[in-house]
Amino acid sequence: MSRAFVKEDDSEQEPDFRLPDRDSPYYDEAAVWALIQGADEGDSRSAELVTGYRWGDPVLTSHVQKIRDEAEVGGEDRVAQLARRFLRATP
């Protein structure tokens, strides 16, 4: 294989999604934040793998709505935008 196709520089770090234990009552909300962070960084797939949830998972809708509403009030435009995208992806 040509050296042009070998990734030698692994300076790009894996995303760090800090989540509570799966049985924590805060897990779903933390998972939403991880999904939003992943989407913001262009790495939704890693966030999905870590959380066990898919982008647009209807189980998370109430948490996403709350985050969207708070982001809109607080002027956090990017968070609100990503939350709206999540909700549009919900079946």
CA distances (Å), origin 1, targets 8, 10, 16, 28: 13, 18, 32, 43
1-11: average pLDDT = 49
Domain definitions of the chain by residue range: 25-89
Q: What is the pLDDT of residues 16-31, one digit of tens each?
A: 888 999 999 999 999 9
CA distances (Å), origin 76, targets 22, 72, 79, 83: 28, 6, 6, 11
Q: Residue 47: its pLDDT value, please? A: 96
Q: What is the pLDDT of residues 52-66, one digit of tens each?
A: 999 999 999 999 999
pTM for this predicted structure: 0.83
* Residue-averaged pLDDT of the chain: 89
Split at pLDDT 50, 70, 90, the class of 2 is very low
